[in-house]
Amino acid sequence: MNNIYSTIIRDGLWKNNPALVQLLGLCPLLAVTNTMINGLGLGLATILTLVASNGLVSLLRKHIPDEARLPVFMLIIASIVTIIELSMNAWFHELYVILGIFIPLIVTNCAITGRAEAFASRNPVGPAIVDGLMMGLGFTAVLVVLGSMRELIGQGTLFSEAHLMFGEAARQFTIVVFDNYRGFLIALLPPGAFIGLGLIVALKNVIDARQKAKEAKTKSVLAEAVAG
Amino acid sequence: MSSLKIQIFRVGFMLAIFAIVATSLVAMTEANTREKISENERQALLKAINEIVDSKDYNNAILSDTLVITKNKLLGTKEDTTIYRARLDDKPVAAIFTSVAPNGYSGEIKLLIGVYFDGSIAGVRAINHKETPGLGDKINEQKSDWIRQFKGLSLTNPSESKWKVKKDGGHFDQFTGATITPRAVVSAVKKSLEYFNKNRDTLFEVTPDE
A189/B29 touch (CB, cutoff 8 Å), yes or no:
no
Q: How many CB pairs under 8 A join A and B?
A: 76
Residue B29: predicted pLDDT: 94
Residue A4: predicted pLDDT: 82
Render the burial of B79-99: b for 16+ CB within 10 Å, e for the rest: eebebbbbbeeeebbbbbbbb
B40/A76 touch (CB, cutoff 8 Å), yes or no:
no
Q: What pLDDT digit, counting tens, does each position of A160-173 carry?
A: 777 666 766 677 77
Measured between CB atoms, does A176 come within 8 Å of chain B? no
**d(CA A112, nearest CA chain B) in Å:** 17
Residues 32-71 of A with CB under 8 A from B: 34-35, 38, 63-65, 67-68, 71
Q: Report how far apart the first and last C-alpha atoms of chain A are (Å, whole number).
A: 39
Q: Cα torsion for B5, B6, B10, B12, to the nearest 10°?
A: 20
A183/B176 touch (CB, cutoff 8 Å), yes or no:
yes
Residue B32: predicted pLDDT: 92
Render the burial of A152-177: b for 16+ CB within 10 Å, e for the rest: bbbbbbbbbbbbbbeeeeeeeeeeee
Q: Considering only CB atoms, which chain A residues are within 8 Å of B30?
A: 86
Nearest alpha carbon to residue A145 among A204, A206, A197? A197
Contact A204, A20 (CB under 8 A): yes
A163/B30 touch (CB, cutoff 8 Å), yes or no:
no
Mean pLDDT calculated for residue range A18-40: 82
Measured between CB atoms, does B40 come within 8 Å of chain A? yes
Measured between CB atoms, does B18 come within 8 Å of chain A? yes
B143/A161 touch (CB, cutoff 8 Å), yes or no:
yes
Instruction: Please state, in angstroms and rounded to a whole number, the distance separating the CA atoms of residues A166 and A148.
Output: 17
Nearest alpha carbon to residue A175 among A148, A195, A202? A148
Measured between CB atoms, does B14 come within 8 Å of chain A? yes
pLDDT at A193 over 50: yes
Higher pLDDT residue, B202 or A182? B202
Nearest alpha carbon to residue B130 among B154, B104, B103, B151? B104
Mean pLDDT calculated for residue range A192-216: 91
B134/A34 touch (CB, cutoff 8 Å), yes or no:
yes
Tens digit of pLDDT at every position of chain B (210 positions): 688 899 889 899 999 999 999 999 999 999 999 999 888 888 888 888 888 888 888 888 888 888 888 888 888 888 888 889 999 988 889 999 888 999 888 888 989 999 999 989 999 998 888 777 667 778 888 778 899 899 989 988 888 888 999 888 889 988 877 889 999 999 999 999 999 998 888 888 876 554
Q: Report how far apart the first and last C-alpha atoms of chain B are (Å, whole number).
A: 65
Q: What pLDDT digit, counting tens, does each position of A57-87 carry?
A: 999 998 888 888 889 999 999 999 999 888 8
B29/A82 touch (CB, cutoff 8 Å), yes or no:
yes
Measured between CB atoms, does A155 come within 8 Å of chain B? yes
pLDDT at A1 over 60: no
**d(CA A167, nearest CA chain B) in Å:** 12
Q: What pLDDT digit, counting tens, does each position of A98-110 carry?
A: 667 777 778 778 8
A63/B26 touch (CB, cutoff 8 Å), yes or no:
no
**d(CA B134, nearest CA chain A) in Å:** 7
Predicted-assembly ipTM surpassing the 0.90 threshold: no
Contact A74, A113 (CB under 8 A): yes
Mean pLDDT calculated for residue range A15-26: 83
C-alpha count within 13 angstroms, C-beta hemisphere, residue B80: 6
Neighbouring residues of B50: CB distance < 8 A, sequence distance ≥ 6: none
